Amino acid sequence: MDQPGETTHFGFRDVPVDDKQTLVNDVFHSVAKRYDLMNDLMSGGLHRIWKDVLINALNPPRNDAPFALLDVAGGTGDIAFRAAKNAGAGFHATVCDINGDMLAVGRERAVARHLEDRVSFVEGNAEALAFPDKRFDAYTIAFGIRNVPRIDLALREAFRVLRPGSRFLCLEFSTVDVPGLDRIYDLFSFKVIPPLGRAVTGDAESYRYLVESIRQFPKPTAFAEMIRAAGFSRVSHQSLSGGIVALHSGWRL
């Protein structure tokens, strides 16, 4: 339960923890229609490679064996579609996102890709998932967990809904660990991305928040400890592109 006066980060601002979700929702309402385009522009297309690394780690079965994926904060369906493309006939993904605008984009794309029978979309909160215990064979979340007000609750919910022997995979921006690249990355993040967001979506402030939120996210070792504290075993993390992104993994055993 929240403590009186408890605060959390919204970018570089401290805000009451119960206010963060509303502020985050406003960000994604604003950028939903151009979200994936902006991902391409901001990362120079690298986000596609990072997501392929996640899907390779997920390694969904290519046969008819049933496999249920829960993709959280994946409203536009990008991860779910990639997984479905690499999986067999027994695969089904449930995309859970708290933002209805992002889900609407995802549903449109599922129909366009003829994947509406293999990917479903559910509005829901990562901190209190409306699914039964031990329901899924894998849980993925890509570039979404830093926007959750109470990350510890989301991790515990991930553990709860996974079957024993199932895997948690989290792709998230991380801490650049290459000397020189860190300065270039900061310059690009703060001087280029917000004006780019204004030009493409008409909204610089939302992208300023997204840049700031990366700097507030725990370092890989600290986040790994949070995953362990939620109950996961064999926790590991892999740095990608000089530490710009990290892929975290944990198993429910």
Residue 40 lies in a domain: yes
Residue 84 lies in a domain: yes
Domains in the chain, number:
1
Residue 69 lies in a domain: yes
For residue range 16-55, what is the model confidence (pLDDT) as tens digits? 666 666 666 666 655 666 767 777 777 888 899 999 999 9
Its domain, for residue 64, covers 7-252
For residue range 194-212, what is the model confidence (pLDDT) as tens digits? 888 788 777 778 778 778 8
Q: What is the pTM assigned to this prediction?
A: 0.86
Give residues with Cβ within 8 angstroms of 175, minimum separation 6.
219, 220, 243
Residue 159 lies in a domain: yes
Residue 33 lies in a domain: yes
Residue 1 lies in a domain: no
For residue range 154-191, what is the model confidence (pLDDT) as tens digits? 999 999 999 999 999 999 989 888 888 888 988 888 88
For residue 238, the domain's CATH number is 3.40.50.150
Residue 174 lies in a domain: yes
Residue 190 lies in a domain: yes
